[in-house]
């Protein structure tokens, strides 16, 4: 995705059989953008994010302190892994616990990214993760309340809960739009009616919001933003889910605020993290 001061001006979507960076390299070659600053947002399959007890060290020493625990956290050798950590704000768990998120990625893959950027004459500025990219996006939209973000892919999904410029909860869903689609539905239509999986979606969203309120002690989630999936229409789910969780739910349309492309390329969920990665926001502590 390419963004300037006005918004997103160009974007590239990889094909399903596109492996590595070849397709993106060809796209860049055809565009001839030259040396531009780049932020890389890792696909969720490329890293593991864990919530762990934070050692009593300064924030800038947190990653090094937790790096010694990689084997304990992932159950494999730490030799080819890299850990980056960031703390939860002090108000989490009513101030009784000091916790941090630890993102763990393959060192060789990160080196491949750095090498690719160098080969393409790109100015690599940051390598980040979905959770922090979406934090940037949420912050840019300046919500007045705490916000839950729901992302649904064909086979899986994610729930993220944010407040005051910080990530508090991330939860993986083992089902996606393919599971939630009734057998009699037409392609592109999506509903929760008569679907046990739909009940499961409601349950997972409600569990996350209840945990935010009761365990973290942060009050109720003010609104739930649903990222528009790439391949299905989920308009029907908004009203139904809103009624089920008794929380305002809206489709997070990025078109008006960010899309300045000349072609019809809607900013769906797969672009949301990329867009957030191009934005800048300082983590709250």
Q: Specify the CATH number for the domain of residue 193.
A: 3.30.420.40
**104 and 154 share one domain:** no
d(CA 152, CA 37): 30
Let me know whether 208 and 84 are in one domain.
no
> What is the rounded (10 degree) CA torsion for 226, 232, 237, 238?
40
Question: What gap in Å lies between CA 149 and CA 250, rounded to an integer?
Answer: 10
Kindly report the CATH number assigned to the domain that includes residue 76: 3.30.1490
Q: Are residues 95 and 147 both part of a single domain?
A: no
Could you tell me if residue 125 is inside a domain?
no
211-216: long-range contacts, CB 8 A cutoff, minimum separation 24: 211/169, 212/146, 212/161, 212/168, 212/169, 215/93, 216/92, 216/93, 216/94, 216/168, 216/169
Q: Number of folded domains in the chain?
A: 2
On whether both 155 and 186 belong to a single domain, the answer is yes
- Which residues are paired to 170 by β-bridges? 160
Domain region containing 205: 130-278
- pLDDT tens for the chain, residues 1 to 285: 899 989 999 999 887 666 678 889 999 999 999 899 999 999 999 999 999 999 999 999 999 999 888 888 887 777 889 999 999 999 999 888 899 999 999 999 999 999 999 999 999 999 999 999 999 999 999 999 999 999 999 889 999 999 999 999 999 998 888 877 655 555 555 555 545 666 888 999 999 999 999 999 999 999 999 999 988 887 777 888 898 999 999 999 899 889 999 888 889 998 999 999 988 754 444
Half-sphere exposure of 167 (CA within 13 A, CB side): 27
- What residues are paired with 15 via a beta bridge? none
Q: Is residue 207 part of a domain?
A: yes
* pTM exceeds 0.75: yes
Residues 85 and 142 in one domain: no
- Residue that terminates a domain, selected from 61, 80, 109: 109
Say what the pLDDT of residue 240 is. Answer: 85
- Asked if residue 148 lies in contact with residue 245, where contact means CB atoms within 8 angstroms, the answer is no
Long-range contacts (CB closer than 8 Å, 24 or more residues apart) made by 196-202: 198/237, 198/240, 200/175, 201/157, 201/173, 201/175, 201/241, 202/241, 202/244, 202/245
127 C-beta neighbours (distance < 10 Å), count: 22
First to last CA, the chain: 29
Integer Cα distance of 202 and 240 in angstroms: 9
Tokens (6 digits) for 81: 């892994």
Are 2 and 11 in contact, with CB atoms under 8 Å apart?
Answer: yes
């Amino acid at each position: 995705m390419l963004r300037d001061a006005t918004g997103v001006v160009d974007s590239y979507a990889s094909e399903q059989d596109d492996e590595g960076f070849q397709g993106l390299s060809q796209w860049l070659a055809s565009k001839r953008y030259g040396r531009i600053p780049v932020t890389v947002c890792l696909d969720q399959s490329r890293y593991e994010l864990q919530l762990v007890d934070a050692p009593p060290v300064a924030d800038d020493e947190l990653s090094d302190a937790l790096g010694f625990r990689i084997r304990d956290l992932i159950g494999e050798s730490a030799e080819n892994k890299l850990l980056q950590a960031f703390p939860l704000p002090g108000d989490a768990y009513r101030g009784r616990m000091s916790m941090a998120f630890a993102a763990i990625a393959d060192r060789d893959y990160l080196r491949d990214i750095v090498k690719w950027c160098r080969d393409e004459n790109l100015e690599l500025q940051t390598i980040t993760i979905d959770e922090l990219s979406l934090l940037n996006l949420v912050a840019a939209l300046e919500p007045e309340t705490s916000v839950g973000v729901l992302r649904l892919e064909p086979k899986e999904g994610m729930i993220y809960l944010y407040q005051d410029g910080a990530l508090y909860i991330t939860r993986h869903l083992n089902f996606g739009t393919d599971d939630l689609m009734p057998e009699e539905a037409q392609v592109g239509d999506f509903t929760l009616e008569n679907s046990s999986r739909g009940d499961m979606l409601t349950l997972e969203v409600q569990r996350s919001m209840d945990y935010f309120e009761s365990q973290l002690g942060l009050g109720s989630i003010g609104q739930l933003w649903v990222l528009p999936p790439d391949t299905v229409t989920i308009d029907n789910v908004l009203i139904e889910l809103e009624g089920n969780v008794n929380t305002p739910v809206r489709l997070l349309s990025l078109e008006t605020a960010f899309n300045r492309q000349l072609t019809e390329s809607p900013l769906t969920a797969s672009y949301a993290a990329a867009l957030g990665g191009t934005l800048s926001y300082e983590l709250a502590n």
